[in-house]
């Protein structure tokens, strides 16, 4: 048995072609893209977002905190394993890591985009790119697909598509396009996630109230109770972001995810049982 740790909250660095090459042609002219800006280095420019995303901040692994800077970084100088799966696997071996649950970086901030149609196109493009990345070793590169949830019905269709693409879970946007997550109208969505065995994760920086990185949804409760489905015999464990059940003051990634009876999940950033994360 492999007793090496599994990272439950790892990120990729979206390469310059991630969105441009994989987005629906109707959106290609507006796709997120990388440009060089004097004083800032290489930055991701996203249509409709005032603040660009400096590449040096989304790929700072292994950099001494005193050396991390907002501007000046060039894409070619960043860790190749952020977008090169072969290098990623080599880094896993070097670090003694068995596998990683892979989240986006630019895509995390795109969750806050106000244009749902644009966001949907970007997430679909990201999923296409990520599929090629994790395909190099799906057991060690555990992809988390993205869904926009313009509507609940479309969200369910996204879950089915994400499962078919080989992903092992879904990173949820903090603000759905229809109703809110505590509305009973979302019950079919939760049931679909259970049936597909797709864990759902709510990550920081993916809600409109995450600017302070303190409370999700401007202090509103994301989900508050544990409930079970007798038909599916499935337990639901739900936590809001900083009040994690493991007692940590805050979590890099808080989860609201279905688990089979007998499996325990608290915060996905801290509890990583292989049976719950690496199956599906």
pTM of the entire structure? Answer: 0.76
Question: Is residue 268 over pLDDT 80?
Answer: no
Residue 70: predicted pLDDT: 67
Query: What is the CA angle 278-148-234, rounded to 5?
Result: 45
Pinpoint the alpha helices (H) of 33-178: 55-58, 85-95, 106-110, 116-134, 152-164
Residue 1: pLDDT band by 50, 70, 90 thresholds? low
Question: Is residue 242 over pLDDT 80?
Answer: no
More confident of the two residues 126 and 213:
126
Tell me which residue of 165, 164, 152 sits closest to 191, measured CA to CA: 152
Encode pLDDT of 58-104 as tens digits: 777 777 777 776 667 888 888 899 999 999 999 999 999 999 999 99
Residue 210: predicted pLDDT: 57
> Two tokens at 172?
């949820």
> Roughly what angle, to the nearest 10 degrees, separates helices 187-196 and 152-164?
10
Task: For the domain made up of 6-31+80-277, give the CATH fold.
Answer: TIM Barrel (3.20.20)
Residue 267: predicted pLDDT: 32
**Average pLDDT for the chain:** 78
Residue 247: predicted pLDDT: 31
Query: Worst-scoring range by mean pLDDT, 6-10, 116-120, 232-236?
Result: 232-236
Phi, psi of 117 (to 5 degrees): -65, -40
Cα-Cα end-to-end distance for the chain:
19
Encode pLDDT of 93-102 as tens digits: 999 999 999 9
**Domain-wise residue ranges, the chain:** 6-31+80-277
Query: What is the CA angle 4-7-9, rounded to 5?
Result: 175
Question: Is residue 123 over pLDDT 50?
Answer: yes
| Cα–Cα distance for residue pair 161/151, rounded to 1 Å | 15
More confident of the two residues 21 and 70:
21
- Length in residues, the chain: 280
In the structure, how many helices (H) and strands (E) does the chain have? 8, 11
Question: Is residue 279 over pLDDT 70?
Answer: no
Residue 2: predicted pLDDT: 73
Residue 264: predicted pLDDT: 29
Q: Is 166 exposed, middle or buried (0-12, 13-18, 19+ CB in 10 A)?
A: middle
Region for 205 from its dihedrals, namely left if φ exceeds 0, alpha if ψ lies in -120 to 50, beta otherwise: left
């Amino acid at each position: 048995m492999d007793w090496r740790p599994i990272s439950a909250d790892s990120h990729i660095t979206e390469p310059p072609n991630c969105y441009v090459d994989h987005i629906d042609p109707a959106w290609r002219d507006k796709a997120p893209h990388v440009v060089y800006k004097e004083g800032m280095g290489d930055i991701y420019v996203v249509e409709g977002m005032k603040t660009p995303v400096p590449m040096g901040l989304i790929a700072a692994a292994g950099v001494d905190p005193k050396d991390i800077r907002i501007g000046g970084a060039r894409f070619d100088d960043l860790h190749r394993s952020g977008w090169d799966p072969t290098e990623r696997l080599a880094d896993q071996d070097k670090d003694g890591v068995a596998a990683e649950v892979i989240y986006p970086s630019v895509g995390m901030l795109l969750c806050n985009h106000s244009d749902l149609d644009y966001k949907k196109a970007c997430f679909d493009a990201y999923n296409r790119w990520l599929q090629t990345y994790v395909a190099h070793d799906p057991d060690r590169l555990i992809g988390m697909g993205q869904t926009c949830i313009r509507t609940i019905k479309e969200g369910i269709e996204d879950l089915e598509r994400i499962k078919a693409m080989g992903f092992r879970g879904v990173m949820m946007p903090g603000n759905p396009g229809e109703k809110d997550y505590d509305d009973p109208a979302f019950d079919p969505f939760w049931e679909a996630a259970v049936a597909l065995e797709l864990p759902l994760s709510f990550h920081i920086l993916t809600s409109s109230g995450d600017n302070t990185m303190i409370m999700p949804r401007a202090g509103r409760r994301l989900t508050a109770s544990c409930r079970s489905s007798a038909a599916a015999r499935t337990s639901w464990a739900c936590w809001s972001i900083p009040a994690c059940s493991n007692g940590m003051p805050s979590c890099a990634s808080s989860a609201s995810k279905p688990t089979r009876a007998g499996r325990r999940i608290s915060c996905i950033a801290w509890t990583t049982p292989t049976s719950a994360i690496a199956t599906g």
